[in-house]
Structure 1
Amino acid sequence: MNLYRSARAVAGASGDDVIDWKSTAEAAKAATDPGSIALAPGEREAYARDVRDARDGVRSVSGLEFDVPATVEIQNRHHWIDANVATFERVMGTLEDHAPSGAFPAVARTLNTGSMTVLLSFLGRNVLGQYDPLLLAEAPDDDHALYFVRPNILAAADALEVDPDRFRRWIAFHEVTHAAEFGAAPWLSEHLEQRMEQGIATLSEGSFDRSAFRELDAAMTVVEGYAELLMDHAFDDEYADLRRKLDERRQGRGPIQQLLRRLLGLGLKRRQYERGKHFFETIAKARDLETASLVWEGPAYLPSHSELDTPKAWLRRVDR
C-alpha cells in the first residue's frame, strides 16, 4: 500500500472525461493491499465444489433453470478493483454524456477521480464475493461473472472467529442465488439497465427521476430478498450465527467506516435484504416457493413499492 503514489495518481488525473478511470484504478490499487491468492492444496477445488453444490441445491429447492458463469474467478483486491473500474465506467458513461463542462473542468475531474478512488478502495477491502450480471456491457452476450475476493473472505472469517471453509461456502451459496435469479429472468438485466440509465441521465441534467429510482430500488429489493429466501432453503447448514456476527462487525466499525457505508448506500442494501426477505417469507408461507418465483415471469410480475410492504396485495394481483 502506497498512499503517496495513490495521491499522486489522483493529482495527475487528465483527459476529457469527468473521471480519469485509468488514474482511478492506479490510485485505488496503490491505496489497497492486494492480499494473497496463494491457494492452499485443494482450495481451488473447494471453491469449485462450493459453487457446484450451491447450484445443485438452489436448483433443487427453487425449480429454476439456470447455470453458473463459465468462469469463476478467485481474486485478490487489485483484481476486484480492475474488474469493477470497468463496471463503474460503463454505469457512469450516461453521466459523462450529459455532464456540463464547468468553469474548472480539471479541478472537477481531480475531485471526481479522488471520490471514485476512495469508493473503490473501500469496497475492494470489504467485498467478499460478487455475482456480476455485466450491466451496460458493450457486448450484451458476454458471460456473466462470479468473483470471490479470497483475502477479504479469510480476513472476515478470522475477525468473526468462524471456520473459513464454512464461511466461504456460505458466500458461494449467496452469490449463486443471484446467478439463479438472472438465469431465471433473462429480462432482468435490461430492466435494471433502463432504470439505471434513466435515473443517471436525469441526475446529470439537474433533476431527479423519483419513479426510476423507486423502481430500481424495488427491483433490487426483490433480488436481495429472493436470494435470502433461497439461502434459507438451499444452504446445507445453519447460518444465523454468520449473519449475526457479520452484522455486528459492520455496526462495530469506527465512525469513518460507518460514514462511508452510509454514503455508499450499504445501509440501504441491508434494508433491501430485510424488506425483501419479509415479502418472500410471507408469500412462501401463504403459498409456496413456486408462487414466490412468479416474480421472474416478467417485469409486470415485480411487486411495486407498496406491494413489497403488503405481500398479499401482490398475491391477489398475480394469482392465477
Structure 2
Amino acid sequence: MDILRSIRAVSEASGSGVVDWERAATAAKASTDPGSVALAPAEREGYAIDVRDARERLRDEAGIDFDVPDAIEVQNRHHWIDASVDTFRNVIAPIEAAAVEEVNRDRRAGRSWNPARDLSRIVNTGSMAFTLGFLARNVLGQYDPLLLANEPDADHGLYFVHPNVVAVAAALDVDYPRFRRWIAFHEVTHAAEFGAAPWLPEYLESRVERGVEGLTAGGLDPAAFAELQTAMTAVEGYAEVLMDRAFDDEYADLRRKLDERRGGGGPVQRFARRLLGLDLKRRQYERGAAFFRHVTDVRGIEAAGTVWDRPANLPTDAEIDDPEAWLVRVDP
C-alpha cells in the first residue's frame, strides 16, 4: 500500500465532472493491498465446482430454472476496483452530466475557473476512492446483473474476491473450502433470483435512475428510493433463506460467525459501514429473511418464489413486516 500515492492522486483530481474517476481508482488501489490470486489448478477448479453444484442444488430446492453467467472470475482486490468503477460511474451519470453542463455554461460566460467546484471534485474523488477501497477489502463475492451497463446485452458477471475469501475464512476460524462453497451458494442464489425474474434488472434500474435524477434536479423522489430499498430487501432476504435450505453442509456456525462479522469490527470499520449504508444492508438481510422464513413455513419455498413472477408480487415495505398481509394479497 502507498498512502502518500493515494493522497496525491486525490489531490490531483481534475476534469469537468464531479469525480475524477481515473484518480479515484488510482487512489483506491494505492491504499489497498491487491492480495494474491495465484491459485493452484485444483483450487481454481474448486470455485467452478462450487458454482456448478450450487446451481443444481438451488434448481432442485426452489424449482427455479436458471443459468449462471459464463464469466466466473476469481479476482484480487484491484481487479474488483477496476470492475466496479463503471458501475458507480453509471449510477451518478445524471449528476456528472449536470456538472459538465454547468462548466460549459460558465465557460461560455467567460468564467473559466471555479475554486469551489475544484475543491468539491477533490472531496468527491477522495470519497469515491475511500468507498472503492473499503469495499474492495471487504467484498467476498458478487453477482453482477450489470445494472445501468453501457452494454446491456453483455453477459452478467459472477466474481469472487479470493484474497478476502481466504482472509475472512482465517479470521472466522472456519475451513476455507467450506467457506468458499458457502459464498458461492450465496452469489449463485442471486443469479437464481435474476434468472427467475427477467423484469428485475429494469425494475431496479428505473428506481435508481428516478432517484438520482431527482437529486440532480435538486429534489428527492422518496417513492423511488423506497421501492428500491423494498425490492433489495426482498432480494437479500430470499437469498438468505434459499441459500440456507440449499447448502449441502452444516451452516449454523457459518451463519453465526458471518452475522457477528456484519455487526462487529473496530470503530473505524463501524463508522465506515454506517457511512456507506452497510448497516442498512444488514437490516435488509434480517427483515427480508424473516419475511421469507414465515412465507416458507406457511406455504413452502415454491410459494415464496412467486415473488419473482411479476413486479406486483413484490412485497410492500409494510408487508415485509407483515407477511400474512402479503399472503392474503398475492395468494401464492
Q: TM-score, normalised by structure 2?
A: 0.94
Change (3 A) 1:191 1:319: same
Cα distance, 1:177–1:115 mapped onto 2, change above 3 Å: same
Gaps of 5+ in 1: none
Q: Is 1:299 matched with 2:301?
A: no
Tell me which residue corresponds to 2:70. Answer: 70
**AA paired with 1:98?**
A
Query: Structure 1, residues 34-83: CA drift from partner, whole Å, max 9, x if none?
Result: 00001034001100000000000000001111100001000000000000
Query: Could you say which residue in structure 2 is the equivalent of 1:19?
Result: 19
1:250: how far off? Answer: 4.0
- 1:97 to partner: Cα distance: 2.5
| Residue type of the alignment partner of 1:210 | P
Counterpart check, 1:8 vs 2:20: no
Partner of 1:31: 31
Looking at structure 2, the residues matched to 281 and 293 of structure 1 have their Cα atoms a distance apart, in angstroms, of 12
Give the Cα–Cα distance (whole angstroms) in 2 for the partners of residues 186 and 24 of structure 1: 33
Question: How far 1:94 sits from its partner (Å)?
Answer: 2.1
**How many aligned positions are there?**
320
- Residue among 139, 160, 171 paired with 2:183: 171
1:6 and 1:26 in contact (8 A); partners too:
yes
Find the counterpart in structure 2 of residue 186 from structure 1.
198
Aligned to 2:290: 278
Tell me which of 123, 128, 132 is aligned to 2:140.
128
8 Å CA contact retained: 2:288, 2:320: yes
Q: Tell me, what secondary structure is at the counterpart of 1:131?
A: strand
Residue-by-residue CA offset, 1:224-263 (whole Å, 9 max, x unaligned): 0110111121000121211211232343311111000011
Q: For residue 310 of structure 1, what is the amino acid of its counterpart?
A: D
Partner of 1:318: 330
Which letter does structure 2 place at the counterpart of 1:198? R
Paired position in structure 1 for 2:253: 241
The answer to whether the 8 A contact 2:262-2:282 is kept is no
2:148 maps to 1:142: no
Q: 1:161 aligns with which of 173, 176, 180?
A: 173
For the residues of structure 1 that align with 2:92 and 2:256, how far apart are their CA atoms? 34
Unaligned runs of 5+ in 2: 104-113
Q: Radius of gyration: which is bigger? A: 2
Amino acid at match of 1:107: L
Which residue of 1 is the match for residue 244 of structure 2? 232
Q: Which whole-Å CA distance do the structure 1 matches of 2:231 and 2:260 have between them?
A: 27
Contact 1:98 1:201 in 2 (8 A): no
Tell me if structure 2 keeps the 8 A contact 1:24–1:116. yes
RMSD: 1.3
**Which residue of the other structure, out of 231, 253, 275, is the alignment partner of 2:265?**
253
Q: Deviations over 1:277-297 (max 9, x none)?
A: 111111111111111111111
